[in-house]
Amino acid sequence: MHNAPLSPATPGALPLDDLPPEEAALVAVAPHVESFGERLARLRRIAALTQADLAQRLGVSMTAVCYWEQDRSQPKRARLHALASALEVGLSTLTEPARAPAPQDFQHLVARARIEIAKAAGIAPEKVKIVIEV
């Protein structure tokens, strides 16, 4: 990680690529909609399963699971119930994209970002002005 300023107006600012993921999420410009593959991989990790474990439980190849997680292919509709069962989640949890955060979630993110920016700049949080453009 380097601390080269992006411009004179942003001393010590880092490009988003250089920020840790949890900090980059605070300043993301557009919300990311989780793909089926990303959701499957996340749910598999939560269930503490490897791709090989999941493949074995479903009677498919590990390559199939890998392709699903990379969004290179989709499981057949008939296999979705078995997949949800193997992950111990409801079918809707597996198949439906997560809903957009509620407005209060954005307020929480802005408040956290304001505190982090203030700390980095050595100023009081109430002096930080955040503008969100949608």
Residue 60 lies in domain: 36-95
Shared-domain flag, residues 90 and 104: no
Q: For 80-100, what is the mean pLDDT? A: 86
The per-residue pLDDT for 97 is 74
Whether 86 is in a domain gets the answer yes
* Amino acid residing at 29: V
pLDDT at 13: 44
Surface-to-core class of residue 128, CB atoms within 10 Å of its CB (0-12 exposed, 13-18 middle, 19+ buried): middle
In the prediction, which pLDDT does 118 show? 87
Residue 11 domain-assigned? Answer: no
Domain total for the chain?
Answer: 2
Report if residue 12 sits inside a domain. no
Question: Is 51 within 8 Å of 66 (Cβ atoms)?
Answer: yes
Confidence grade of residue 3 (pLDDT, cut at 50, 70, 90): very low
Query: Is 5 within the bounds of a domain?
Result: no
Query: Is the domain of 40 the same as that of 70?
Result: yes
Give the pLDDT band (50/70/90) at residue 125: confident
Same domain, 90 and 105: no
Q: What is the pLDDT of residue 75?
A: 92
pLDDT in the model for residue 32: 62
In a domain, 27, yes or no: no
